[in-house]
Chain A
Amino acid sequence: MNLNATLFAQLVVFFILAWFTMKFVWPPIMKALDERAKKIADGLAAADKAKSDLVLAERKVVDELRKARESGAEVRTGAERQAAQIIDEARQEGARIIAQARAAAEDEAAAAAQRAREALREHVAQLAVAGAERILRREINPQVHAELLTHLKSEL
């Protein structure tokens, strides 16, 4: 319970220790604490930003998907229309070709029939002449009777 110089020694030690703490202990720890607080704040901000970015990206994805679907549908209807048109044209073309071919065939057939008819007429005329020859038992001079024969031919 006695007072003595220990008191002043303790007082001086007190200031030295406090100075030491102020110089070498407090600033680095506070710096670390502040830096960590900043890191955490930055991290939280980044997470928030990422979250909003994600929402934006999702919205964009939906948008793009919708656009793609729409343009796909457009392309398909265009293609269908074009295909229908092509089929239509092809059908018309086919019909035209068939009609043309039928007309050509009919012309050919008509010509052939005409030729056959001519040939038959010639033949019948000859037969008639030959028959008449037999009937008359004399030879008809073709040069003389050419007119007669031609007339007969046209009547057949």
Chain B
Amino acid sequence: MATGTEAHAPTASEYIVHHLTHLNNLGHKQTELVDFSVFHLDTLLYSVGLGLLAVFVLARVARRATSGVPGRFQAAVEIVVEMVADQAKGIVHSPESRKFVAPLALTVFLWIFLMNAMDLLPLDVIPSLWQGAYAAAGHDPAHAYMRVVPTADLNATLGMSLAVLLLCLYYNVKIKGLGHWVHELFTTPFGSHPLLYPINFAMQLIEFVAKTVSHGMRLFGNMYAGELIFMLIALMGAAWAGTLGSGLLWLGGVFAGTLWAIFHILIITLQAFIFMMLTLVYIGQAHESH
């Protein structure tokens, strides 16, 4: 084995594990399943960065928005805004709530779309740049972790779905009144009878937990799986070793990579749209009495 800076080429499993490890404030992989002293720095960097990019570009368009003939970019933004406004109008029936919920849905859609779109960047570009910088700073590049798709981090997606849960609770109290809502928690879905109160309440709790977890998990699962498949395809491409078999694998990698990337354009848009629609639906449900 060569000594010095040249480490051995990672095995397939090492490659994937390395790619699936977050950059956090510990400097190594988090050992506990739940540890609230840890931050995923890469997730925060990309999600905050892309979120700011989205809202500042939107704000720029909004500041220059003209009611006359719009430019192409303004027209494109208007298409998205009107799509979101229409959906919000159809689902949330309170104009007062829509003043916050519709912009929220727009933010969610564009932000998640951008975060998902990080998946379409060549898999190794940012991690290898980071490894180079990390090595240049005198650290071991084998420990330079970097994941660029924030929505493939369960923390990010559950964070957003928890935010939606908080909004649901807020609107439940705001629209129905605390007393009425508590009454509803105990009397629906099975009916108003003292024996049914615990069952009703348990069902309501399950409903809230299921909504929130599935909301976050759906996005996470899709993006995580997408990222993983990109890694497997990258391994196919990396199989090139000068032989015919490895050449075919490499060709297969190119072919599969192209196909999966094109399909992924649909997935990232669809998942962003689904997350936005479910946000609206859940908040809309908080407005309706059972």
Interface residues of A (CB under 8 A from B): 1-11, 13-15, 17-18, 20-22, 24-36, 39
With a CB–CB cut-off of 8 A, which chain A residues contact B160?
A: 10-11, 14
Quick check: which of B36-44, B230-238, B241-249, B251-259 contacts chain A, the rest being far away?
B36-44
Quick check: which of B63-71, B127-135, B138-146 contacts chain A, the rest being far away?
B63-71
Contact of B44 among A3, A6, A15, A28 (CB under 8 A): A6
Whether the pair A2, B62 counts as a contact (CB closer than 8 A) is no
Say how far B43's CB is from chain A's closest CB, in angstroms.
5
Whether the pair B106, A4 counts as a contact (CB closer than 8 A) is no
Say how far A43's CB is from chain B's closest CB, in angstroms.
12
In angstroms, Cα B82 to Cα A36, docked, is 13
For the A-B complex, the count of residue pairs with Cβ-Cβ distances under 8 Å equals 147
In angstroms, Cα B108 to Cα A26, docked, is 13
With a CB–CB cut-off of 8 A, which chain A residues contact B153?
A: 6
Whether the pair B40, A4 counts as a contact (CB closer than 8 A) is yes
Whether the pair A6, B39 counts as a contact (CB closer than 8 A) is yes
Contact of A18 among B59, B85, B100 (CB under 8 A): B100
With a CB–CB cut-off of 8 A, which chain A residues contact B77?
A: 29
In angstroms, Cα B78 to Cα A25, docked, is 11
Whether the pair B36, A4 counts as a contact (CB closer than 8 A) is yes
Count residues of chain B with CB under 8 A from any CB of chain A.
55
Whether the pair A7, B159 counts as a contact (CB closer than 8 A) is yes
Whether the pair B103, A22 counts as a contact (CB closer than 8 A) is yes
In angstroms, Cα B155 to Cα A7, docked, is 4
Interface membership of B274, Cβ < 8 A: no
Whether the pair B155, A26 counts as a contact (CB closer than 8 A) is no
19 CB-based A-B contacts, threshold 8 Å:
A3-B34, A4-B35, A6-B159, A7-B156, A13-B44, A13-B51, A17-B52, A17-B111, A18-B100, A21-B104, A28-B62, A28-B65, A29-B61, A29-B65, A29-B81, A33-B82, A34-B67, A39-B67, A39-B68
Interface membership of B47, Cβ < 8 A: yes
Closest 8 CB pairs of A and B: A10-B159, A35-B67, A6-B155, A32-B65, A4-B38, A26-B103, A22-B103, A28-B62
Interface membership of B24, Cβ < 8 A: yes
Interface centre among B33, B78, B107, B153 (most CB of A within 10 A): B107
In angstroms, Cα B159 to Cα A134, docked, is 179
With a CB–CB cut-off of 8 A, which chain A residues contact B204?
A: none
Whether the pair B154, A8 counts as a contact (CB closer than 8 A) is no
